[in-house]
A and B are shown apart, each in its own frame.
Chain A
Amino acid sequence: MAACAIAGLAACTTESAPGASTNGSAGGATPTLSAVRARGAVKCGITEGAGFATPDDAGRWRGFDVDFCRAIAVALFNDPDKVQFIPYTQEQRFSGLQSGEVDLLANGTTITSSRALRQSFHFGPIYFYDGQGFLVAKSSKVTKASMLDGATICVQQGTTTELNLTDFARRNKITFHPVVMEDLRAAVSALAGGRCDAISQDGAGLATTRTMLQHPGDYVVLPDRISKEPIAPVVRTGDDAWLEIVNWVFRAPVQAEEYGIDQHNAAQFAQTTDPSIRRFLGLEPGATDGLGLDPQWTLHVIEKVGNYKDIFDRNLGPATPLGIDRGLNKLWTDGGLLYSPPFR
């Protein structure tokens, strides 16, 4: 085991990533953008998970993260299929980005200070607000996390879950008995068998885990969130123009929802007289000229991928098996945290 880790570390050493070195000026030749244009497709690093990134019956990738990758492809090529998806495990993702194998990661990576400071990455805008929570059996009558005093809690090894859980227990002066599993399926079977009173992991993960149980209806995700898990795309440092493209493409669906523009009504907005919407849709120049994209890229993104609500409802919302509540992922005007800087 040690040998492979050392070999793995050795394997991802000094090769410099294509286009990781020079600073690109906005609109000019950015190394990542020129590599993407030459290739004719964006390479997007994802992590498989129900609702976020899964291949459908026809082998086409679908999911929340996948749709944001497709938005980048639409902004660049006006074609949601000009994207190559590279699935990574949580361990591989950073070396994949660092080595230039992908142009960005949209795989549920949490922004943390140590990741931002210690490694040579930049985070884009937060496109999903998550937090660690609990999945319990309805029969346990537990309705909030503080009622879990003395409970046995199953967690999966390998993330910060154990740390968050322990911090939560110490802060609230409750005790718990952890059972740390290497494989999520073992934890699911332990919850189903009654060995554990709860499973703790990120909220989106809990929704997925719930669907793995034989009787998902008998289990409920508690509303409490005991940690902050802001999810954002990740790019390499040293290519500011590429970072700006990722920034604004990830913000466009949010802004579109705020303006009430969605996949179905987008075409009608071509005749709008509202100056701010005209600027946002590229009907009047100026808002995103510096990115070096098609002036009407936002319109294309909305038509071909959708606004934030379209993307959320299609992949994660109540109509899907995951049934995740918008929660913090509502617009700031609806009491959520989604807030796009203005396009002007």
Chain B
Amino acid sequence: MRRAADRRAIALQGLGLGLTAAVVWWLARNTSVSLAQRGLTLGFGFLRHPANFEIGDTWWLSFTPADSIGRAIVVGLLNTALVSALGCVLAIAVGFVAGILRLSPNPALRGLVRLGVEIVRNTPLLLLLLFLAASLHALPPPRQALSPLHGVFLSDRGLVLPAVSIGRWTVVFVLLAVVALALRHKLGTRWWIAPAACAAAALVSAILRPPAIAAAHLEGFNFVGGVTLSPELAALLAALVLHQSAHISEVVRGAVLAVPRGQRDAAGALGMSRWQTLRLVVMPVALRAMVPLLATNCVSLIKNSSLAVAIGFPDVVSILNTAGNQTGHSIETMLIMIVVYLSLSLLVAAALGRYNAHLLRTGTAIS
């Protein structure tokens, strides 16, 4: 009886596998036939060709239209990475606060947060994004920019800040000092020597080449100099953080509620305050339930960031679309897109997975 069921299961799975393979084979064959018909060939040589298009927002890497398409894609990837990294951190922070506030004994506060969360959670992200982008367009034009501080301008062209240029060696020594601090447990009893030396070196290099501050000024249509945080980046980041933090707040609330009430009561009986109970008793347990879901939320934030193209932020999807359009290599650019998102998502999943494993080893168990 059991054997027969097993055999049937194996046969069904084999059939499913065969069908999938057949569909994949059919798709691949049809693609190659139609490509051949149109005289197109697959290949990634076009990545070395000059891009011939301009990119609005660039961070870390400079870009001109004469640079290669490959470099343009890296610029887009950095933009996606920037939005994803900032977005994940901020969404978790905001989500945590909102989730905890949802459990506040104050009914007005609780209700207000609930209202906000429900509105955001039940609105399509694209709508939220377009709404925020349109709201930012309502800021004054550059000539009437708000300038709360010298060198800081807020207008419909974005937030312009003075550019601070710091000597290369100062940055290196500060980073070394941070690394040394992080590794202090491995450095023995005189662990402070290394970070202190690095900090001193950073200070000396900063004195030798003092950090320069260059404020932006209005010239023609726009601000020249300084660092610009574009309204597209701000709108995208705000929409992603709002949307994902609403989801995260529910995760946080659920995880806290999942901690057995007895533990909280026991902490109260020991004379712990509400804050102490939350921090020392509830959170360590709740965190373990949360982390896998936080990872999922971060991954979906990364994927949602591809909506950037709707409001004109040059993320990796936007740039790959343009590159595919101009070179005709749309299959290759889509393959790159798949690889990019798959690796970003797997990277985040792996990192939070490791953190989760670490929590499981050290944390207390839910009984």
Contact B221 A181 (CB under 8 A): no
Q: Which of A1, A7, A169 contacts B54 (CB 8 A)?
A: A169
Q: Mark B209-234, 1 if CB is under 8 A from A, else 0.
A: 00000000001111010000001100
A182 at interface, CB cutoff 8 A: yes
Q: A6-B31, A9-B30 are in contact. Are A194 and B52 (CB under 8 A)?
A: no
A58 at interface, CB cutoff 8 A: no
Which residues of the other chain, A, contact B312 by a CB distance below 8 angstroms? 154, 179-181, 186-187, 190
Which residues of the other chain, B, contact A158 by a CB distance below 8 angstroms? 321, 325
Which residues of the other chain, B, contact A151 by a CB distance below 8 angstroms? 220-222
Contact A195 B157 (CB under 8 A): yes
Q: How many residues of A contact B (CB 8 A)?
A: 47
Give min CB distance, A77 to chain B, whole Å.
34
Q: Which of B52, B65, B222, B311 contacts A186 (CB 8 A)?
A: B311
Complex CA gap A183/B39 in Å reads 31
Q: Mark A1-24, 1 if CB is under 8 A from B, else 0.
A: 110011101101110000000000
B310 at interface, CB cutoff 8 A: yes
Which residues of the other chain, A, contact B54 by a CB distance below 8 angstroms? 162, 165-166, 169, 176-178
Complex CA gap A14/B331 in Å reads 19
Give min CB distance, B197 to chain A, whole Å.
44
Tell me which residues from 160 to 176 in chain A have a Cβ below 8 Å from any Cβ of chain B: 160, 162-163, 165-167, 169-170, 176
Contact A179 B53 (CB under 8 A): no
Which residues of the other chain, B, contact A182 by a CB distance below 8 angstroms? 309-310, 318
Number of A-B contacts (CB under 8 A): 128
Complex CA gap A10/B106 in Å reads 60
Which residues of the other chain, A, contact B338 by a CB distance below 8 angstroms? 2
Contact B322 A2 (CB under 8 A): no
Complex CA gap A2/B24 in Å reads 13
B300 at interface, CB cutoff 8 A: no
Contact A150 B322 (CB under 8 A): no
Contact B38 A118 (CB under 8 A): yes
Tell me which residues from 123 to 160 in chain A have a Cβ below 8 Å from any Cβ of chain B: 148-152, 154, 157-160
Give min CB distance, A70 to chain B, whole Å.
32
Closest to A181 in B: B312
Q: How many residues of B contact A (CB 8 A)?
A: 51
Which residues of the other chain, B, contact A118 by a CB distance below 8 angstroms? 38-40
A189 at interface, CB cutoff 8 A: yes
Contact A162 B53 (CB under 8 A): yes
Complex CA gap A194/B138 in Å reads 8
Give min CB distance, B182 to chain A, whole Å.
39
Give min CB distance, A119 to chain B, whole Å.
7
Contact A195 B231 (CB under 8 A): yes
Contact B334 A186 (CB under 8 A): no
Complex CA gap A189/B314 in Å reads 18
Give min CB distance, B80 to chain A, whole Å.
15
Contact B221 A197 (CB under 8 A): yes
Complex CA gap A167/B326 in Å reads 13
B55 at interface, CB cutoff 8 A: yes
Q: Mark B308-331, 1 if CB is under 8 A from A, else 0.
A: 011110100010011001101011
Q: Give me the interface of A with B, judged by CB distance under 8 Å.
A: 1-2, 5-7, 9-10, 12-14, 114, 118-119, 148-152, 154, 157-160, 162-163, 165-167, 169-170, 176-183, 186-187, 189-190, 192-195, 197
Pairs A–B under 8 Å by Cβ, sample size 15 = A2-B331, A10-B26, A10-B34, A118-B40, A157-B322, A158-B321, A162-B54, A170-B65, A178-B55, A179-B56, A180-B312, A180-B314, A186-B133, A190-B312, A194-B141
The list of the 9 closest CB pairs from A to B, nearest first, reads A193-B137, A10-B30, A2-B334, A179-B312, A150-B220, A13-B34, A162-B53, A151-B221, A182-B309
